[in-house]
């Protein structure tokens, strides 16, 4: 690889890491919900993507929860952050979270 190619690849890797790890998103859960195997109590959360994990920080208690995710990219940017849930056997399950202002959709295994 030439020096220029290494610089371009390094710059792209660095910018992707900054975008993925530097941005946070606010979500509100009106009732408890499961994200994978993690139970999130109702409340307001600050969400960050750290590698292949979603890190939820409760804004009132500062309690943190981590759940593995698969990141999918939509063909265009999401206009706002949206939480997609389903209700099974009396429990709300987070299926996916669309990250507003980005093409990323976080998908959770149930």
Is 30 contained in some domain? yes
Is 84 contained in some domain? yes
Q: What is the pLDDT of residue 91?
A: 92
Residues in the chain: 110
Is 15 contained in some domain? no
Is 14 contained in some domain? no
Q: What is the pLDDT of residue 87?
A: 94
Residue numbers of the chain with a pLDDT score lower than 70: 1-22
Give the whole-angstrom CA distance, residue 110 versus residue 39: 12
Neighbours of 83 (CB within 10 A): 19
Domain that holds residue 70: 25-107
Structural domains counted in the chain: 1
The whole-model pTM stands at 0.78
For residue 49, report the phi and psi dihedrals to the nearest 5 degrees: -95, 120
């Amino acid at each position: 690889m030439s020096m220029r190619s290494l610089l371009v690849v390094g710059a792209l890797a660095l910018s992707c890491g900054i975008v993925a790890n530097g941005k946070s998103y606010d979500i509100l859960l009106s009732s408890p919900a499961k994200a994978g195997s993690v139970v999130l109590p109702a409340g307001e959360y600050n969400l960050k993507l750290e590698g292949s994990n979603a890190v939820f920080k409760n804004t009132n208690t500062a309690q943190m929860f981590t759940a593995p995710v698969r990141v999918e990219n939509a063909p265009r940017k999401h206009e706002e952050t949206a939480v997609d849930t389903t209700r099974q056997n009396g429990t709300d399950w987070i299926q996916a979270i669309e990250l507003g202002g980005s093409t990323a959709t976080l998908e959770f295994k149930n």
